[in-house]
Structures are given as C-alpha cells and as structure tokens.
Chain A
Amino acid sequence: MFRAVVRLSTSGVRSLARIRPCYSAPLASRCCSHAKVETDEEFDARWVTYFSKPDIDAWELKEGMNTLIGYDLVPEPKILDSALRACRRLNDLASAIRILEAVKDKSGPHKDIYPYLIQELQPTLIELGISTPEDLGMDKL
C-alpha cells in the first residue's frame, strides 16, 4: 500500500500535495480488508511522537531511523525535525548529517524533494548548528 510521499506540484508554486491511496470505484466501494487504514497525519504524528521522546536513547534513534528509511516514502519535514532534535539530545552530530544524506538518497530520481526538505528544515538546521552534507562537501566524492 502506497503511503504519503512528499511531492511537489510542477507548476513552480511550492505546495505540499499528498498522494493518497486511490480507491478507483466510487460507486461500488469495496474495501478488500476491514483493517483500519492509518491516515497520513496519523502516521506523521506517530513518528514525530516517537522521536520527540525526551529521554530517547541511541538504539531507539537508530531503530526508528532505519525503520523509517525502510518504508516506501520520504519522511515529512516535521518527522525529520523531530529526529534531528533527538540527535541533538543524544549529542550525535554525525547521525544528524547521516539522516540528511539518507533522505536525499531515499528521494531517488525525484531531485526536487531534497531541496524542499532542506528549505523546510533550514530554521532547525541553523538553530542546532547542523551543516548539510553539501556544506561539508560530503555529497561529492
């Protein structure tokens, strides 16, 4: 099941458009499974809460981040913001930079996702003093 992905409209106006799972037959609506479907907002909220835990430990950060990267989506800026703040609480700058690299890699061929994320995260990056991999020259070989 496809989950929410951060996508940009192609018209130059940067607005956040979510891709929702499409149910193609509005007349005869048939759900194959009766399981409760989690909305995108619930998903985001759950992950923001996970990383916002004040006494999060290194293992939980790693586990959460690796799981999140395992999903078929690029995390929302607010989830990443929460994760970067968790890195700050753990005094782990390297992981913060690694997270930024990972989401850039996760965007794959959609080259416009990463600049959008950085733009949204800019206040947090400045506040916490995190340099992007590009600033450090780590995106080149």
Chain B
Amino acid sequence: MLATRALSLVGKRAISTSICVRGEHGVAKVDDYALPAYFDRRENPLPDVQFVTELSAVQKSLKEKEKGSWATLSNEEKIALYRISFKQSFAEMNEGTKEWKSVIAGMFFFIGMTGLVVLWQRKFVYGPVPPTFESEWKEKEVQRMLDMRINPVEGFSAKWDYENKEWKK
C-alpha cells in the first residue's frame, strides 16, 4: 500500500507490471489501470501524473535547466517543458468539435426519409378521400350553413352579407 503510494508520487508508469510485496505473505500485481492516470480536464488543471513519463535526453537536460532561473529559458523551451507535463493546453482541450454539422445533417436526412415514406403512404396505402371533399359538395355545404344561420352573431354567418349575397369585406 505504501509502495503503491510512493509509486504514484513518483508517477512512473514504467513499473506498471512490477510486483509489490505485501507483508511477506504474497505478491500483488499492480495493473496499469490501477495507477494514477493522466487526463486533461478544465476542473482538474494539474493531473496526478506528467503526460510524458519517459524523458528523452534532451528533455532530461531541459528539466535540469528548469531548476535554474526560468528567465534564461527561451519560449520554445518553456513550451517544451509544458508539453512534457501536459498533453493539451486549455485552448486545445476546450476546442469544440464539428460534430454538430453531422447531427444537423442526420436530422435533415431522417426527416426527409420520413417525408418520402409519408408521400408513398398517401399514394399507395390510403384509399380515396370521401366525396364530401369535392368542391361542388363544399359549395352546397356552405350554402346550407348560411341558410341555417350558423354562428350568426360573431362567427360564420356573421361574415356573410345576406343583402348583397357575398362575403363581407
């Protein structure tokens, strides 16, 4: 337990397959997923481990230089030091994807497919509409409603001018 804590402080993932002895009773293999992991999150700015665990010679010398005055480091060296410790900067981490375009495209596609299905249904599945929809029938229907004085105060017949036999302007 203390050994794994010490391992996590050091942050070296190279010992992921190493074995720690616990109380001389047996060995426990420390799996990779059980060790602290690196992840870029806005709410966790300093992750548990460095991003780059195996430093190259150049990186090691840069780390040594870091122990001195930081004013002597060039911008490229500072960026290199940042990239050793972190994978993505905040700007890169917060960058949006272009996924919304696929989402909108998918939406339109499926709405279009549904439209085609509906049109096909209208033509091949449903039978003819009743005769009451014909314009001749409708004319007779309207005349009958006016003769019956349907809604004469504020509604249907109120809009008909009975003297001039036309709709009110």
Determine if chain A interacts with chain B: yes
Minimum distance in angstroms from B66 CB to a CB of chain A: 5
Instruction: Please determine whether B85 and A98 come into contact, CB atoms closer than 8 angstroms.
Output: yes
Instruction: Please determine whether B48 and A62 come into contact, CB atoms closer than 8 angstroms.
Output: yes
Mask: chain B, 53-71; 1 = CB below 8 Å from A; 0 = not: 0000000000000110111
| Given contacts A91-B67, A105-B42, A138 and B89 within 8 Å (CB-CB) | yes
A30–B156 Cα distance when bound, in Å, is 63
A59–B47 Cα distance when bound, in Å, is 10
Question: Which of the 9-residue segments A8-16, A20-28, A38-46, A65-73 touches chain B?
Answer: A65-73
For this complex, into which size category does the number of interface residues on chain B fall? 20 to 34
| Given contacts A95-B46, A102-B45, A136-B79, A129 and B94 within 8 Å (CB-CB) | no
Contacts of B24 in A (CB 8 A): none
Is there a chain A Cβ closer than 8 Å to B135's Cβ? no
Contacts of B90 in A (CB 8 A): 101-102, 104-105, 133, 139
Contacts of A118 in B (CB 8 A): none
Instruction: Please determine whether A91 and B45 come into contact, CB atoms closer than 8 angstroms.
Output: no
A61–B29 Cα distance when bound, in Å, is 29
A70–B42 Cα distance when bound, in Å, is 10
A101–B45 Cα distance when bound, in Å, is 9
Instruction: Please determine whether A95 and B85 come into contact, CB atoms closer than 8 angstroms.
Output: yes
Q: Please, which residue of chain B has its CB at the minimum distance from the CB of A139?
A: B91
Residues 62 to 89 of chain B near chain A (Cβ within 8 Å): 66-67, 69-73, 75, 78-79, 81-82, 84-86, 89
Mask: chain A, 103-141; 1 = CB below 8 Å from B; 0 = not: 011000000000000000000000011110101111111
Contacts of A65 in B (CB 8 A): 45-46
Mask: chain A, 42-68; 1 = CB below 8 Å from B; 0 = not: 000000000000000111011001100
Of A69, A105, A129, A135, the residue contacting B70 (CB under 8 A) is: A129
For this complex, into which size category does the number of interface residues on chain A fall? 20 to 34
Residues 22 to 56 of chain B near chain A (Cβ within 8 Å): 42-48
Is there a chain B Cβ closer than 8 Å to A99's Cβ? yes
Contacts of B67 in A (CB 8 A): 91
Minimum distance in angstroms from A120 CB to a CB of chain B: 19
B residues with CB within 8 A of A: 9, 42-48, 66-67, 69-73, 75, 78-79, 81-82, 84-86, 89-92, 94-95
A residues with CB within 8 A of B: 57-59, 61-62, 65-66, 69-70, 88, 91-95, 97-99, 101-102, 104-105, 128-131, 133, 135-141
20 A-B pairs with CB atoms under 8 Å apart are: A57-B9, A59-B9, A61-B46, A65-B45, A92-B66, A93-B73, A93-B78, A94-B85, A97-B82, A98-B46, A98-B85, A99-B45, A99-B46, A105-B42, A105-B90, A129-B70, A129-B72, A131-B78, A139-B91, A141-B95
